[in-house]
Structure 1
Amino acid sequence: MFSIVLNIVGSLFHLYVAARLYALAPVRSRIPARAWWIGALLLWCVYIAGVHLGDAALDWRWWPGQFAVTWLGISFVMSMCLLLADLASGFGFWWRAHTQAIRAAGAVAGVLLAAFALYQGMRAPVIVEQEVVIENLPPALDGAVIAAVSDIHLGAQRRSDWMAARVAQINALQPAAVLLVGDLVEDEPIGEPQLAGVLRGFRAPLGVWAVTGNHEFYGDAETTVSEFAEGGVRWLRDRQVELAPGLVLAGIEDIGATMRRGGSLTDGLARILPDAHGKATILMSHIPASAVVEEASRRGVGLMLSGHTHGGQIWPFSHAVEQRFPKYAGAYEVGGMTLFVTRGAGSWGPRMRLWKAGEIVKITLRAPQGATT
């Protein structure tokens, strides 16, 4: 079904962009109609082939697959700009003397915006800093730094060398702990022997911890878990640990996987946090579902970390994502608990982001004012 939707939507974007670009006098005067439309047809065929091959494949199929999703993103951004130009000119029914100039401006804007989105999607994630006051945090842990990163999406687009650069970025923050908040792979395990060595490069005295996201379960989740575990990553799959004296770190399994097994959204929370225990608690849950957020707050969690939304990734999809997840990017206060939803370090589909780049979150923990040793 998803491929069918991509076929239809992508084909419409492609046709609209091709038609509008050929309506520009400088293009039409230089390229014969037959040559233009044969070229457009061939491009469309490559796009359709790429959709069916898939961009998650780790062999030669990555190239047409990645072209397909990238062209989908580019043609979407181009369509938005060209449509605005059409609306401004009344689709050529008014301001006829200026229609060509308006359409040309729309085309140029589309190219520039698509290029910017590609740059934002391919650049290194930015560091976002956040201070969080956590109830019951021991004063000895005041000022401790936690590095959180989600939606890495290792796979065809990002391999061990990309991850090595992220390890260096995170180590520069001198974190006490590193928290990987799900969707660490695109689908399948990446199968690179060097990944374990890269992951063992993390420098965090309180360890590197991870939870599963939905993408882990699109492939062989258990092998993915093993690949990361070989690199020293410890998984919290509906369990908690005492990260440091007085500080609990809890993590729940991807809620989609839990529900497919017949459970409910909050089953994982009920198992690992049966009641408020009076200790400072950090919860990792990949998907910021409202029911999980509210239940975590009721159970005394001080800080909840999520990802999944990518911050909408390409505007204006952020508005659609916000309808599904009202708390979809940044920090929120929920009944005394801080929820931070990260945009993630990678991307899904086209390696594009509009407007904001991917991110790694540096969180400085703070004890409540007046807390004593």
Structure 2
Amino acid sequence: MRLITAGFALLTYAFLNYYIGLRGLKSINTKVPVNKYAYWVIIALLASTYFVGMIGGKYLPDRLGHAVNTVGGYWLAAFVYFIGIVVILDVFRILGRKLNILPGFLRDRTWLVAAAVVLFVGIILAVGTYNAVVPRIVSYNVSIDKKAGDMEQLKCAMISDVHLGDTIGRERLRTAVEKINSLNPDIAVITGDLIDREIEPVRKANMLEELKGLKTRFGAYVIMGNHEYYSNDVKEITRMYEESGLVVLRDKYVTVNNSFYLVGREDYMADTSGYHREKLSNLLDGVDKSLPVIVLDHQPKDLSESRAEGVDLQLSGHTHGGQFFPISLVTKGIFEEDNGYLKDGNFNLIVSCGYGTWGPTVRIGSRSEVLDININFPYSS
């Protein structure tokens, strides 16, 4: 069934790329003659580059692999906007001809319309690149009505979905560490997908060495996301994370400063990857819930479990906030909260749209972020 679905999706993608290419060719040909064979080779290369990078990127030289992934990612983003714009323009074109309201200069200068579309999409990608590579600090204030030892406030720095690999490298991680350190946090947490899927690019560039520069009072913690499981070597990733100074929480909890519990959950992918995601009720067995309970869970779904178990604060990522419009509309429909803060009684949820990107290095309607979470314990004062 999965193969049938994947095959149908690829055929649809190929057809839509052909549709975009055909409309572009007809528009350009009205102004300048185009070598059709060269044109279609370029379209085919652009359409297939992302999948070449995803499947065969690890077999390519580092720079070539990076270039293939970058070009493929940008085409994927451009494709989304091109197909939407071309469909809208074709609807207007058909209606305009039937109703005889299409201006003559548009009928005769389709190349000008095509140039305007390319320019518009180019501007979108440029703005989206800025949003993706220039991170901002987003602050949240949360109050938990429990006593946390002698702590009145906890300052937590959080990043999620860095996706280190062929596209996002060591410099971006260094910037994240610098941003985190600038907050002078008590703890730092990484809520999954620190690595994209391939370990080798991360290992070759010694990317995780940057994490040794994190400066906190009570340590830095990490959980697994679905992409760590895509690597098919979670044990090695766990070892690499621990070697870089992170405390790995895989269905386990720690008591921090004798003041609160920090619980890290396995991702939902664990159950399909030869591992097991424990029920939260079992995981919290023995936890003193008179202390604050903070849960790290990569995917913000099935929140009823956290509510039922008296979790005070859940920190999640995964959604990317949709990363770019119109995909953001999909994540808003799937998740109760796909980006931001949700409060329901004593339960608090913060979902980060992420620090890195998946696929295109583009964000429209979201921005790369480091979270500055100030957690207050009024009962401790």
TM-score range, shorter chain: 0.7 to 0.9
Residue aligning to 1:80? 84
Deviations 1:206-228 (A, max 9, x none): 10001101100111111111111
Residue aligning to 2:214? 202
Query: 1:102–1:351: structure 2 CA closer, same or farther, 3 Å change rule?
Result: same
Aligned mates of 2:370, 2:56 — CA distance in 1? 23
Letter in 1 for 2:122: V
Aligned mates of 1:260, 1:156 — CA distance in 2? 23
Residue aligning to 2:45? 45
Task: Count residues with an aligned counterpart.
Answer: 363
Q: Is the 8 A contact 1:249 1:282 kept in 2?
A: yes
Larger CA deviation: 270-279 vs 303-312? 270-279
Aligned mates of 1:48, 1:233 — CA distance in 2? 37
Residue aligning to 1:155? 165
Shift of the alpha carbon at 1:304?
0.2
Aligned mates of 2:350, 2:74 — CA distance in 1? 29
Q: Is the 8 A contact 2:53 2:72 kept in 1?
A: no
Larger CA deviation: 215-224 vs 275-284? 275-284
Q: Is the 8 A contact 2:150 2:380 kept in 1?
A: no
Q: Is the 8 A contact 1:82 1:107 kept in 2?
A: no
Q: Is the 8 A contact 2:131 2:368 kept in 1?
A: yes
Aligned mates of 1:262, 1:364 — CA distance in 2? 34
Shift of the alpha carbon at 1:362?
0.6
Query: Is 2:218 the counterpart of 1:215?
Result: no
Q: Is the 8 A contact 2:17 2:47 kept in 1?
A: no
Aligned mates of 1:15, 1:83 — CA distance in 2? 13
Aligned mates of 1:257, 1:139 — CA distance in 2? 34
| TM superposition score normalised by structure 1 | 0.88
Shift of the alpha carbon at 1:168?
0.6
Query: 1:197–1:177: structure 2 CA closer, same or farther, 3 Å change rule?
Result: same
Residue aligning to 1:360? 370
Shift of the alpha carbon at 1:276?
6.4
Residue aligning to 1:119? 130
| 1:342-361 alignment runs, 5 A limit | 342-361=352-371
Q: Is the 8 A contact 2:316 2:350 kept in 1?
A: yes
Superposition RMSD in Å: 2.6
Q: Which of 288, 291, 294 lines up with 1:282 in the alignment?
A: 294
Residue aligning to 2:284? 273
Query: 1:351–1:3: structure 2 CA closer, same or farther, 3 Å change rule?
Result: farther
Aligned mates of 2:213, 2:271 — CA distance in 1? 32
Query: Is 2:148 the counterpart of 1:141?
Result: no
SS in 1 for 2:241: helix
Aligned mates of 2:348, 2:336 — CA distance in 1? 15
Query: 1:119–1:212: structure 2 CA closer, same or farther, 3 Å change rule?
Result: same
Query: Is 2:262 the counterpart of 1:249?
Result: yes
| 1:294-333 alignment runs, 5 A limit | 294-333=304-343
Query: 1:75–1:49: structure 2 CA closer, same or farther, 3 Å change rule?
Result: closer
Query: 1:355–1:256: structure 2 CA closer, same or farther, 3 Å change rule?
Result: same
Shift of the alpha carbon at 1:64?
2.6
Letter in 2 for 1:17: I
Residue aligning to 2:245? 232
SS in 1 for 2:57: coil
Deviations 1:319-349 (A, max 9, x none): 2223322321111113421111110101111
Letter in 2 for 1:12: F
Letter in 1 for 2:124: L
Larger CA deviation: 153-162 vs 45-54? 45-54
Shift of the alpha carbon at 1:6?
6.0
Aligned mates of 1:137, 1:88 — CA distance in 2? 62
SS in 1 for 2:158: strand
Aligned mates of 1:193, 1:358 — CA distance in 2? 22
SS in 2 for 1:144: strand
Query: 1:113–1:176: structure 2 CA closer, same or farther, 3 Å change rule?
Result: same
Shift of the alpha carbon at 1:32?
1.2
Query: 1:149–1:5: structure 2 CA closer, same or farther, 3 Å change rule?
Result: farther
Query: 1:56–1:70: structure 2 CA closer, same or farther, 3 Å change rule?
Result: farther
Deviations 1:143-172 (A, max 9, x none): 321001110100111122221111011100
Residue aligning to 2:29? 28
Residue aligning to 1:57? 57
Shift of the alpha carbon at 1:302?
1.0
Q: Is the 8 A contact 1:304 1:338 kept in 2?
A: yes
Q: Percent identity?
A: 23
Q: Is the 8 A contact 1:85 1:106 kept in 2?
A: no
SS in 2 for 1:57: helix
Letter in 1 for 2:349: L
Query: Is 2:101 the counterpart of 1:95?
Result: yes
Q: Is the 8 A contact 1:81 1:110 kept in 2?
A: no
Aligned mates of 1:126, 1:5 — CA distance in 2? 39
Q: Is the 8 A contact 1:305 1:341 kept in 2?
A: yes
Q: Is the 8 A contact 2:21 2:43 kept in 1?
A: no
Letter in 2 for 1:198: E
Segments of 5+ residues of structure 2 without an aligned counterpart are none
Deviations 1:236-279 (A, max 9, x none): 11111111222111111112213555856xx3412321376211
Q: Is the 8 A contact 1:125 1:359 kept in 2?
A: yes
